Amino acid sequence: MTILPVTPDPSISEDLLAAGRKAYDLDREHVFHSWSAQRTITPMTVVKTEGPYIWDGQGHQLIDFSCQLINTNIGHSHPKVVAAIQEQAADIATINPAHVNAARSEAARLVADLAPGDLNHVFFTNAGADAVEHAVRMARVHTGRPKVLSAYRAYHGGTDLAFALTADPRRNPVDTATAGVAHFMPSYPYRSYFNAATEQEESERALAHLEQTILLEGPQSIAAVILESVPGTAGIYVPPAGYLQGVRELTRTYGILFIADEVMVGFGRTGQWFAVNHWGVEPDLLTFAKGVNSGYVPLGGVALSDAVYETFAETPYPGGLTYSGHPLACAAAVATLTAMQDEGMVANAARLGEEIIGPRLREIFEAHPCVGDVRGLGAFWAVELVKNRETKEPMATYGGSSPEMNELVAECKKLGLLPFQNMNRIHVAPPLNAPDEVVRHGLDILDQALAVTDRYVTG
- Look up the pTM and report it: 0.95
Judge whether 262 and 274 are in contact, CB under 8 Å: yes
**Cα–Cα distances in angstroms (integers) from residue 407 to residues 255, 412, 451, in the given order:** 49, 9, 11
Res 147 pLDDT > 80: yes
* Phi, psi angles (nearest 5°) of residue 109: -60, -45
Amino acid at residue number 452: V
Q: How far apart are CA 212 and CA 197, in angstroms?
A: 21
Q: How far is CA 442 from CA 21, 134, 435, in A?
A: 27, 38, 11
CA-based nearest residue to 257, from 144, 113, 152: 144
Check residue 216 and give its pLDDT. 96
Residue 178 has pLDDT above 80, yes or no: no
Amino acid letter for position 401:
S
pLDDT digits (tens, 9 = 90+) for 15-24: 999 999 999 9
pLDDT at position 44 is 96
User: Using one digit for the tens of pLDDT, what is the confidence trace for 351-384?
Assistant: 999 999 999 999 999 999 999 999 999 999 999 9
Please say if the pLDDT value at position 340 is more than 90.
yes
Q: 376 pairs with which residues across the strands?
A: 381
Do residues 143 and 257 lie in contact, with contact meaning Cβ atoms separated by under 8 Å? yes
Tens digits of per-residue pLDDT, 247-257?
A: 999 999 999 99
Task: State yes or no: pLDDT of 348 exceeds 70.
Answer: yes
Q: Please state, in angstroms and rounded to a whole number, the distance separating the CA atoms of residues 132 and 152.
A: 16
Tens of pLDDT, residue by residue over 99-114, are: 999 999 999 999 999 9
Give tens-digit pLDDT for 73-109: 999 999 999 999 999 999 999 999 999 999 999 999 9
Residues above pLDDT 70, as percent of the chain = 97
| Residue 54 φ then ψ, to 5° | -130, 160
Residue 169 pLDDT exceeds 70: no
Residue-level pLDDT at 307: 98
Asked if residue 160 has pLDDT above 80, the reply is: no
Distances (CA, A) of 112 to 108, 120, 310, 330: 6, 5, 16, 14
Q: What is the pLDDT of residue 108?
A: 98
Residue 400 pLDDT greater than 70, yes or no: yes
